[in-house]
Amino acid sequence: MTSNKLSVQVAINSWRLAVERASKIFSSLTEGELLKEVAPGKNRLIYLLGHLTAIHDAMFPILGLGDRLHPELDAIFVSSPDKTGAQLPAVEELRKYWDEVNGKLLSQFATLSADEWLQRHYAMSEEDYAKDPTRNRLAVLLSRTNHMSYHWGQITLALK
């Protein structure tokens, strides 16, 4: 394995671990448990399930991996905060979207070469990337892994 390939593998492992940990919980909670807030007045678990799915889904175009599967989630789970009265998709639908999006992402990750991970991501212009080559696909992957960890820290507060 080349050393760069190994670095990318480490980053993908870290992402996969975080997804697997969250999947285990999201698939096991009851509908009632998913309505719990992470702290009084804060986001409900069901909102975070939809939010993480939407943010992960948006990685397809950012990483140049094709179209989104569920762009319709943004209006409810990204542009709007929780508890605005919006009608949420059914829990079973949300769980299905989570599995679909994360399953497809992981299989797409495997199609990128180590060098392609270091190419610019698609939310960046060629010009800006030339100025700062660390703003590449790998940076997006680490940033989204941290984002997932951030909300995971909140989710665990509602579980214990």
Which positions lie near its own copies, rule CB under 8 A?
A: 1-4, 6-11, 13-14, 18, 38-40, 42, 114-115, 117-118, 133-134, 136, 138-139, 142-143, 145-147, 149-154, 156-157
Are 144 and 59 spatial neighbours (Cβ–Cβ below 8 Å)? yes
**Smallest distance from the beta carbon of 71 to its own copies, in angstroms?**
25
Our CB check for its own copies shows the closer of 24 and 72 to be 24
Q: Residue 96 has which token pair?
A: 């299905």
Our CB check for its own copies shows the closer of 46 and 68 to be 46
Residue 60, C-beta contacts closer than 8 angstroms, at least 6 positions apart: 66, 67, 68, 69, 104, 105, 108
**Smallest distance from the beta carbon of 9 to its own copies, in angstroms?**
5
